[in-house]
Structure 1
Amino acid sequence: MERRTHRRQGSFEIRSEAERTRVELSGRLTVRDLPSLEAALREIDGEGPVEFDLASAESIDTSIAWAIDAARQRFDARQAEVSVTSAAPNVAQVIETVTEARPTPEPAEPGAPWLTALLSRIGAGVVGMGALLTEFAGVFGMFLARVAQSIIRPREFRLTALVHHCEAVGLQAVPIVALMSFLIGVVLAFQGSAQLRQFGAEVFVVDLIAISILRELGVLLTAIIVAGRTASAYTAAIGSMKMRQEIDAMRTLGIDPGHALIVPRVLALLLMLPILGLIADAAGLFGGALMSWMELGISPAMFATRLVEGTNVSNVFVGLVKAPVFAILIGVIGCQAGLKVGSTAESLGRMTSSAVVAAIFAVILADAIFSIFFQQIGL
């Protein structure tokens, strides 16, 4: 095989001899010669020696040197002998510089055994959870300390901010909470009637609805809805202020961020979540009563009578006593995530999403603990 290419001042020629391939470069080769030179070098096959003869090369640029070095690596991989001969000092210097500058991949570290990797991930998760619990305790302690200070010095308490957050957390959440609970009551009544009708026990659908709504689903679904809309709002608001360095400005002006940002938000949740829970209970019972009337013919008067006779007031207590705990969890997690936001919008989005997930998980976990506790004490 013999190939010759002329490009302006530079040229190259590839000769295939009996057991050797000779690549002769001459003149001044630049990046304009790179495409044809690289294509020609890739067509060289066989495992015989390859010689780059640069005796006639007056100069080359870094692109030509890169093509020679890349070809040399390919030939070395095929265990073919490669040599560069008769290069002028300036040409040899360019080739040497490019060869030294080419990054060499680091050898891959041997992978750890799967059991070691699994235990490592579990350990990292446990350590991360411990750090999150420590941060949660710090923010919760800040909240308690600032509340105590507000009791001692009432003038520091921000009533206007509390009223504003009560409206945002409570009043604006009433439609979605009521609608969700109403639909849950409808679904429970419809599904319960379909199952209880098989045993002629349709009237017990009232007990099913009352216990499910009052004891568990009413306050739990309310807390999940509030966690989704309020925890994200708290994180976004506080995180945006931190990104714009408004929290640092507040400290410079002598304004305590705990008093101004955390106390009104968490207190608003403490006040509004039990009220939202009561609204959810009422809406769920109304939805269940409506569906029972339509599906089973249980009149509202009969529904109310059965509700009073078959439902203990302790079910209402068990449901509502969870609300303040859920409120603290949602509020503190939202504020904690906001305080952890960095200086980028990506950090704000990541922490907002993390706050919603963490708040919902904490609410469900707390509800499970409450259920076990009340079951153990017989309530």
Structure 2
Amino acid sequence: MRIENGSGTLDAAGADLDGPRVTLRGRWTADQGPAVERAAADIAAYGRGQPVLVDLSAVLRLDTLGAWVLERTRAEIEGAGSRLAYAGARPEHRILLGEMGLREAEPKAPDTRNPVVRGLDGLGRRVAQGGAEVLAGIAFLGEVVAAAGRVARRPRTFRAAALVNQLEQVAFRGVPIIVLISFLVGGIVAQQGIFQLQRFGAQSFVVNLIGLLILRELGVLLTSIMVAGRSGSAFTAEIGSMRMREEVDALRVMGLDPIEILILPRILALVIGLPILSFLGSLAALAGGGLTAALYGGLTVDGFLARLQAAVSFHHFAVGLIKAPFMALTIGIIATIEGFAVQGSAESLGRHVTASVVKSIFMVIVLDGLFAVFFAAINF
């Protein structure tokens, strides 16, 4: 860089600049970072209290770092009440400088509303957003049903291999963790029940407690929560990654329906796999409860099984299995919607994976409560 002192020079717009003319030479690129910073400091020093013209005609190369440093220097000089102008810039340099231009964000107007009004406004916006998400979920469910109808009319188009692969990922590979967690939870519930019922000499009734609780509520609920955290998050991450790499758009360009290709096999795998996992989880929880009852309650295995058979019937078992497909459908719809909502950044992917798990668990619990009220109303 060479500094030329002069006066009465003209900037690109033709306005008189009574100040020094600074000629930049060489490469203003990232690999010359320290030299670029020193040169920018010299320009800022020349521009204190007087306008300065920066001549870019001798610059061999300018990248984003060099343009940003120049625009930062211009902002500093103009902030001090002076002026900096460019001359001799090639068109690509002017475009880059324009893109790197520092713009101050407009100050946000203070909210002078009453705090109660602000709170109600925020609550209303969240309720409206929740309603919009529910409507979007219903619309997406309609698309899935329509795609299922098209596949039913043309069975050869269904990707059976994808369904088998998803069943392996959802059901087969999920068995160990679900059986282990269910076994431990069943043991914990039985232990706490025994400790409380021992006060009344009724520890044998712990079999009724764990039998009804696990078969009707806890088995399917616990399994659904674990599936939402394990498989639901995986669905969102997989589809979100495909969105980021524009693979979903590529499917549409090739004339393929992403709902049929990506969504149907995953949702069907959940609908088939979750009842199986719930059944296995319930058995594991009952086994954990029986072992705990034998260790802490003095019940024999034969006594536990006999009392369990007397306490529960098939319709208690059916209640849990009836819930499972609906919970699986809910998890699948939420997970795939969040996957399709991913934008082109890792931050967006992480945000939607988190939202998928939280919304799925919330809706599973709400759905379980609705089923509990319904079955109580029909005395089932």
TM-score bin, normalised by smaller chain: 0.7 to 0.9
1:372 corresponding residue in structure 2: 373
Is contact 2:49–2:81 with CA below 8 Å preserved after alignment?
Answer: no
1:217 corresponding residue in structure 2: 218
2:174 corresponding residue in structure 1: 173
Change in Cα spacing, 1:307 to 1:354, as seen in structure 2 (3 Å) is: same
Is contact 1:274–1:320 with CA below 8 Å preserved after alignment?
Answer: yes
Is contact 2:48–2:82 with CA below 8 Å preserved after alignment?
Answer: no
Change in Cα spacing, 1:307 to 1:133, as seen in structure 2 (3 Å) is: same
* Whole-Å separation in 1 of the counterparts to 2:201 and 2:379: 29
Q: Which amino acid aligns with 1:256?
A: D
1:35 corresponding residue in structure 2: none
Q: Which amino acid aligns with 2:158?
A: F
1:163 corresponding residue in structure 2: 164
Change in Cα spacing, 1:105 to 1:363, as seen in structure 2 (3 Å) is: closer
* Whole-Å separation in 1 of the counterparts to 2:107 and 2:243: 40
Deviation at 1:235, TM superposition (A): 0.6
2:289 counterpart SS class: helix
1:205 corresponding residue in structure 2: 206
1:328 corresponding residue in structure 2: 329
- After superposition, residues 1-379 of structure 1 pair within 5 angstroms as 61-63=46-48, 96-97=81-82, 106=107, 108-379=109-380
Deviation at 1:375, TM superposition (A): 1.5
Q: Which amino acid aligns with 1:361?
A: F
Post-superposition CA distance 1:327-350 (Å, at most 9, x none): 000001110001011111111111
Unaligned runs of 5+ in 2: 1-18, 20-44, 52-77, 84-101
* Whole-Å separation in 2 of the counterparts to 1:95 and 1:230: 58
Deviation at 1:110, TM superposition (A): 4.6
Change in Cα spacing, 1:94 to 1:156, as seen in structure 2 (3 Å) is: closer
Change in Cα spacing, 1:207 to 1:107, as seen in structure 2 (3 Å) is: closer
Deviation at 1:65, TM superposition (A): 7.6
Change in Cα spacing, 1:201 to 1:103, as seen in structure 2 (3 Å) is: closer
Unaligned runs of 5+ in 1: 1-27, 29-59, 67-92
Post-superposition CA distance 1:119-171 (Å, at most 9, x none): 11011101111121122112211111111111111011110000000000000
Q: Which amino acid aligns with 1:294?
A: L
Deviation at 1:97, TM superposition (A): 3.8
What is the TM-score normalised by the length of structure 1? 0.73
Post-superposition CA distance 1:58-105 (Å, at most 9, x none): xx8544589xxxxxxxxxxxxxxxxxxxxxxxxxx997546xx99798
Pairwise CA RMSD of aligned residues? 2.5
Is contact 1:211–1:315 with CA below 8 Å preserved after alignment?
Answer: yes
Change in Cα spacing, 1:110 to 1:228, as seen in structure 2 (3 Å) is: closer
Is contact 2:137–2:333 with CA below 8 Å preserved after alignment?
Answer: yes
* Whole-Å separation in 2 of the counterparts to 1:227 and 1:357: 9
* Whole-Å separation in 1 of the counterparts to 2:275 and 2:150: 25
* Whole-Å separation in 2 of the counterparts to 1:95 and 1:147: 67
* Whole-Å separation in 1 of the counterparts to 2:350 and 2:303: 51
Number of residue pairs matched?
295
Q: Which amino acid aligns with 1:251?
A: R
What is the TM-score normalised by the length of structure 2? 0.73
* Whole-Å separation in 2 of the counterparts to 1:165 and 1:137: 24
* Whole-Å separation in 2 of the counterparts to 1:276 and 1:202: 29
* Whole-Å separation in 2 of the counterparts to 1:199 and 1:181: 28
* Whole-Å separation in 2 of the counterparts to 1:321 and 1:369: 13
Flag the structure with larger Rg.
Answer: 1
